């Protein structure tokens, strides 16, 4: 398949179909509406099902049903819609059902606005539903990664029998870039645990209810062991110019792209800055943060929020290095020059060498 110039939202749907997804249930919401539009167009052409649900609450339980039948299935929404799905996400995790959810983040809280933000981090990464569970969370920073990480999301969902999020801000969802899709599509497959309304699968049971306390505790311990394995084996991140970095910047999504420009700009002046970009927000790259802390003097976290990933960086460092934060909200995306001023200021504050000609800009 030749490269295609498409939006990030559409790239998710095409990649999902190529990855064997055959069911999409959703409700349109800006800036994620193109996902439902593309699914309505392409899913039936692949022999799959698209259904616009009456609400996000309905769509997450439709997803539960399709996943229980062993179908690779997904939904998509943004802030307020993801909030409505939280109860269903807990049920999916409790029943160990694989599925994929795309969250294209907009401004909040409440209705907020339709501009890009990163304020859904806490509800997605920390799990907004009830009980002891995690969702695996992938954070693309390009339209190509929207495609690549969606395909990965379905594989991880099956491998861990768990919901997986593709978490992107509205800027990545709405931008257009060239995308190269996988060469060979994945065919739908049989899941031995699924309920398929056949005599062979009559013995299978999909449930999240365990009335006896000891049985529920055993189930929770089983889930916990699965999450610990995920934390050992599925951490993904990108390092950029971190080899000699005295200042390590951290951000994801569109923010990480801005930080790459900041790294280039400041390195040209002699300031040794690098970038650590988490690709998995859960599991978080704790070991990579701790490794870089051995040589770096300072960490700077930049988000399109008032600071949510910031807490995970601080937990990973556990006071080993100072952490400073810069955030914009309301849909404001800072230019590289604005972030560079923040980095110069904190570098000077903590005694990191700044070229004399740069001090005038601090």
Share of the chain above pLDDT 90, in %: 94
| 139, 279 Cβ separation under 8 angstroms | yes
Question: Residue 2's pLDDT is what?
Answer: 81
Bond prior to 335 in cis (omega within 30° of 0): no
Alpha helix stretches (DSSP H) within the chain? 8-18, 33-42, 56-68, 79-84, 86-94, 121-125, 143-160, 170-174, 213-233, 254-267, 286-293, 309-317, 336-349, 356-359
CATH topology of domain 237-359: Rossmann fold (3.40.50)
Q: Is the pLDDT of residue 329 over 70?
A: yes
Instruction: With cut-offs at 50, 70 and 90, classify the pLDDT of residue 243.
Output: very high
| pLDDT value at 361 more than 60 | no
pLDDT tens digits, one per residue of 123-158: 999 988 999 999 999 999 999 999 999 999 999 999
- Please report the pLDDT score of residue 362 as a whole number: 45
Q: What are the sequence ranges of the domains in the chain?
A: 4-233, 237-359
Q: Which superfamily, per CATH, for 4-233?
A: Thiamin diphosphate (ThDP)-binding fold, Pyr/PP domains (3.40.50.970)
Examine domains 4-233 and 237-359 and report if their fold is the same. yes
Average pLDDT, whole number, for the chain?
96
- Which residue has tokens 């420009």? 261
Whether 347 and 247 have beta carbons less than 8 Å apart is answered as yes
Band the pLDDT of 189: cuts 50, 70, 90.
confident
With 80 as the cut, is the pLDDT of residue 354 above it?
Answer: no
pLDDT at 360 over 70: no
First to last CA, the chain: 49
Query: Which residue shows structure tokens 């539903």?
Result: 129
Q: For residue 357, count other CB atoms closer than 10 A to its CB.
A: 9
Q: What's the Cα-to-Cα distance from 314 to each of 107, 162, 206, 272, rounded to whole Å?
A: 24, 27, 38, 21
Q: Using only C-alpha atoms, what is the Rg of the chain?
A: 21
């Amino acid at each position: 398949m030749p490269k295609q110039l498409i939006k990030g939202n559409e790239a998710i749907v095409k990649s999902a179909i190529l990855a064997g997804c055959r069911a999409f249930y959703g409700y349109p919401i800006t800036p994620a509406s193109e996902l439902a539009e593309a699914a309505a167009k392409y899913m039936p052409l692949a022999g799959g099902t698209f259904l616009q649900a009456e609400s996000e609450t309905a769509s997450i339980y439709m997803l539960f049903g399709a996943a229980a039948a062993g179908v690779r299935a997904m939904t998509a929404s943004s802030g307020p819609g993801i909030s409505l799905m939280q109860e269903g996400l807990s049920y999916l995790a409790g029943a160990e059902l694989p599925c994929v959810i795309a969250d294209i983040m907009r401004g909040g809280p409440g209705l907020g606005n339709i501009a890009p933000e990163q304020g859904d981090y806490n509800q997605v990464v920390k799990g907004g539903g009830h009980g002891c569970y995690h969702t695996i969370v992938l954070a693309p920073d390009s339209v190509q990664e929207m495609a690549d990480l969606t395909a990965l999301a379905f594989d991880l969902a099956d491998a861990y029998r768990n919901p997986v999020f593709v978490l992107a801000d509205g800027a990545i969802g709405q931008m257009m870039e060239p995308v190269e899709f996988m060469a060979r599509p994945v065919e739908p497959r049989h899941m031995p645990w699924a309920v398929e309304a056949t005599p062979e699968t009559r013995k299978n049971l999909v449930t999240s209810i365990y009335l006896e306390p000891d049985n529920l505790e055993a189930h929770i311990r089983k889930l916990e062991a699965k999450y610990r394995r995920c934390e050992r084996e599925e951490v993904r991140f990108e390092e950029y110019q971190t080899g000699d970095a005295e200042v390590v910047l951290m951000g994801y999504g569109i923010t990480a792209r801005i930080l790459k420009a900041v790294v280039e700009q400041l390195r040209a002046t002699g300031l040794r800055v690098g970038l650590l970009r988490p690709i998995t927000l859960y599991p978080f790259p704790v070991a990579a943060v701790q490794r870089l802390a051995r040589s770096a003097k300072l960490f700077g976290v930049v988000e399109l929020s008032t600071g949510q990933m910031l807490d995970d960086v601080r937990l990973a460092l556990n006071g080993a290095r100072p952490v400073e934060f810069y955030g914009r909200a309301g849909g404001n995306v800072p230019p590289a020059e604005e972030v560079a001023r923040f980095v110069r200021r904190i570098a000077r504050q903590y005694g990191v060498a700044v070229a004399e000609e740069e001090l005038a800009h601090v």
